[in-house]
Amino acid sequence: MNFDDTPEEAAFRAEVRAWIDANAPKHLDAALSEAGFGISPTGFDFRTEARAWQKKKFDAGWACMQWPREYGGQALPPIHQVIWQQEEGIYSSLSRLFGIAHGIVGPTIIRHGSDEQKAAHLPRMANGEESWCQLFSEPAAGSDLAGLRTRAQQEGSDWVINGQKIWTSYAQYSDWGMLITRTDPTVAKHRGLTMFLLDMRSPGVEVRPIKQANGQSGFNEVFFNDVRIPDSRRIGGVNDGWNVAMTMLMNERLVIGLGMPTGFEDIFDLCSNLQTADGPAIDDPTIASKLATWAARSSGLKYTVFRSLSALSRGETPGPENSIGKLVAGSTQQEIAMFALDLQAQSGALVDPAMAAASARFQAMLMRSPGTRIEGGTDEIQRNIIAERVLGLPADIRVDKDLPFNQIPTSARR
């Protein structure tokens, strides 16, 4: 056991660090450090700066390093990408614009795409010319993704799309979207789906930001009104879209983050500095007890990620056990935020960063964390994944599994 890089990894890390130090967009440092807990960086054009940073990385050979060389990569083991992310620090929030392209869509095109599709998109994803979103969730199809209703109907060599997606991250900045549609409503729901590569500038595509419960707008609704997609931009077979979607969801799980923050460091600082009638809050044994539980959870997540990285470093593929990261971090953030407000008493209600403790970061965390527990698979879906794929328990009974899609009940009333 050790926390050390292999000599090769250490040399790579040193090289990356030096390059970032010499090339990072340091004029954005102040703006990037202030973002977090659902607050987007402000004061600059996100898309322009994100693309410029990606281009610079690409030109220096740091982009999509695990991809094959012919598609703009370096054919390096995935641990290199992780080391890069560790060193990237605050600039990683710029790279997030390409997270879906590099981590999810790219690998899916490599697996299911035609040669033309690979040549058309992969190098442009790598150099930052194309950012991508995933057009998956719909108003009536969230956890039950296969219940989606956006229709694609064939007309000559085109497909005509009508319907609506929701909760699409980065749609407002994306050039392209991976779009899953229903092409046959007369067969069981998983069997009538087809996946397309959609140019987000096509006529009939409308992106509308969603005003979220926390007042921010990170997600979007996307509407399709007679949008035409040539058949050459279909990926995978007609009615084989679920298979392509599974590849995407699998890759999504393999994107190992550096661990989502739980808010522990923040609450620890608050309790260390907050004076009560009996001295610093942290001296109160009941407060210490809560803090210790969060400390242990936070540390447990950190070292669980380290164990996944160990597997990656040895060339192994991490499994669905990574589901625990968001599951634990999301609810811990919410618990910590609520407790921080409690400690601040009446002032806990204040949300103005100039007035509230810790620049109102707990208030921001309070309002963002309910979303964290839902996005990218709800807490309940994560528990199902752990129960079914890790522990081997039976899948849920699905009463609509073998019904033709157009006969599945849509209202609870009879």
Partner 1 sequence: MNLEFSDQQLQLKNEARRFLEDKCPPQAVRAILDGAAPFDRALWKALGEMGFLGVAIPEAYGGMGAGYLELCVVAEEMGRALAPVPFSSSVFLASEFLMLAGSESQKQTYLPRLASGETIGTFAFVEGQGQVTPQSVRTRATGDRLTGSKLPVPDGDIADFAIVAARTGAGADEQSISLFLVDLNADGITRTPVNTVDPTRSHARIEFASAAAQPLGPSGEGWSIITRILDRAAVLTAFEQVGGADRALEMGRDYALERMAFGRPIGSFQAIKHMLADMYVQATLARSNAYYGAWALSTGAAELPEAAATARVSATQAFLHCAKNNIQVHGGMGFTWAFDCHLYYRRANLLAVNLGGLSQWERLLISRLRRRNAA
Opening angle at CA 136, ends 135 and 141, nearest 5: 140
Nearest residue (CB) to partner 1, 52 versus 387: 387
Of the listed pieces 68-76, 87-95, 141-149, 390-398, which binds partner 1 according to CB under 8 A? 390-398
Q: What are phi and psi of 234, to 5 degrees?
A: -80, 140
Residues 9, 184, 199, 375: which binds partner 1 (CB under 8 A)?
Answer: 9
Residue count (the chain) = 414
Count Cβ atoms below 10 Å from residue 10 Cβ, excluding itself. 12
CB-CB contact of 262 with 301 (8 Å): yes
How many whole angstroms separate alpha carbon 407 and alpha carbon 187?
Answer: 9
Considering only residues 250 to 279 of the shown chain, the ones binding partner 1 according to CB under 8 A are 268, 272
Opening angle at CA 337, ends 100 and 365, nearest 5: 35
Nearest residue (CB) to partner 1, 122 versus 385: 385
Using CB under 8 A as the binding rule, whether residue 221 contacts partner 1 is answered as no
SS3 category, 180: strand
Nearest approach, Cβ of residue 9 and partner 1 (Å) = 8
Q: What are phi and psi of 353, to 5 degrees?
A: -55, -25
Nearest approach, Cβ of residue 300 and partner 1 (Å) = 3
H or E element in which residue 346 lies: none
Bridge partner list, 151: 162, 182
Nearest approach, Cβ of residue 88 and partner 1 (Å) = 17
Of the listed pieces 22-30, 302-310, 351-359, 404-412, which binds partner 1 according to CB under 8 A? 302-310
Count Cβ atoms below 10 Å from residue 395 Cβ, excluding itself. 10
Residues 311, 350, 351, 408: which binds partner 1 (CB under 8 A)?
Answer: 311
- Residues whose CB falls within 8 Å of the CB of residue 162, separated by 6 or more in sequence, listed in order: 150, 151, 224, 225, 226, 227
Using CB under 8 A as the binding rule, whether residue 321 contacts partner 1 is answered as yes
Residues 273, 395, 402, 407: which binds partner 1 (CB under 8 A)?
Answer: 395
How many whole angstroms separate alpha carbon 261 and alpha carbon 268?
Answer: 13
Residues 327, 343, 364, 366: which binds partner 1 (CB under 8 A)?
Answer: 327
Q: Closest Cα partner for 53 from 132, 121, 127?
A: 127
Residues 34, 144, 388, 400: which binds partner 1 (CB under 8 A)?
Answer: 388
Nearest residue (CB) to partner 1, 22 versus 391: 391
Using CB under 8 A as the binding rule, whether residue 295 contacts partner 1 is answered as yes
How many whole angstroms separate alpha carbon 366 and alpha carbon 341?
Answer: 9
Of the listed pieces 102-110, 300-308, 351-359, 365-373, which binds partner 1 according to CB under 8 A? 300-308
Using CB under 8 A as the binding rule, whether residue 390 contacts partner 1 is answered as yes
Residue 354 to residues 1, 36, 351, 360, Cα–Cα distance (Å): 46, 17, 9, 8
Nearest residue (CB) to partner 1, 1 versus 22: 1
Active-site residue identified among 130, 138, 252, 335: 252
CB-CB contact of 224 with 178 (8 Å): no
SS3 category, 75: coil
Considering only residues 60 to 89 of the shown chain, the ones binding partner 1 according to CB under 8 A are 79
CB-CB contact of 251 with 278 (8 Å): no
Using CB under 8 A as the binding rule, whether residue 374 contacts partner 1 is answered as no
Using CB under 8 A as the binding rule, whether residue 394 contacts partner 1 is answered as yes
How many whole angstroms separate alpha carbon 131 and alpha carbon 171?
Answer: 9
Residues 48, 275, 289, 346: which binds partner 1 (CB under 8 A)?
Answer: 289
- The footprint of partner 1 on this chain (CB under 8 A) covers a number of residues equal to 51
Q: Kindly give the interhelix angle for 324-344 and 361-372, rounded to the nearest 10 degrees.
A: 150
Nearest residue (CB) to partner 1, 61 versus 306: 306
Opening angle at CA 180, ends 177 and 181, nearest 5: 125
Residue 321 among the catalytic residues: no
Residues 75, 119, 213, 296: which binds partner 1 (CB under 8 A)?
Answer: 296
Nearest approach, Cβ of residue 15 and partner 1 (Å) = 17
Nearest residue (CB) to partner 1, 391 versus 412: 391
Using CB under 8 A as the binding rule, whether residue 5 contacts partner 1 is answered as yes
Q: Which residues bind partner 1 (CB under 8 A)?
A: 1-5, 9, 79, 268, 272, 282, 285, 288-289, 291-293, 295-297, 299-304, 306-307, 309-311, 313-314, 321, 324, 327-328, 380, 382-384, 386-388, 390-397
What residues act catalytically?
Answer: 252
